[in-house]
Amino acid sequence: MSAPITPRRAHLGMLLWALLVGLSFPAVGLMSELPPLSLTALRFAIACAGLWWLARRADDFGRPGSCCRSIC
């Protein structure tokens, strides 16, 4: 599928994840003026965008029947 993950790449991934999680707390504090439903919709849209990006990286994304191959 892809090249093996090097320790450097793994550390950079963990650093990126820590930044994402760490910066989410001040971001929510800044958006506290938004109504709860709007904030939930914004989080949902961000999650959908992230999952879409991950799915697009899959080798068999978009091929007919590719979603059922892992189940059978």
Task: Return d(Cα 22, Cα 2) in angstroms, integer.
Answer: 29
Distance CA 1, CA 47 (A): 24
Q: Cα separation of 53 and 49, whole Å?
A: 6
Put simply, whether the predicted model's pTM sits higher than 0.85 gets the answer no
Distance CA 20, CA 43 (A): 13
pLDDT number for residue 18: 94
Confidence at 69, pLDDT banded by 50, 70, 90:
low
DSSP 71: T
Q: How far apart are CA 7 and CA 69, in angstroms?
A: 31
Per-residue pLDDT tens digits for 2-54: 678 899 999 999 999 999 889 888 887 887 788 889 888 988 998 999 898 88
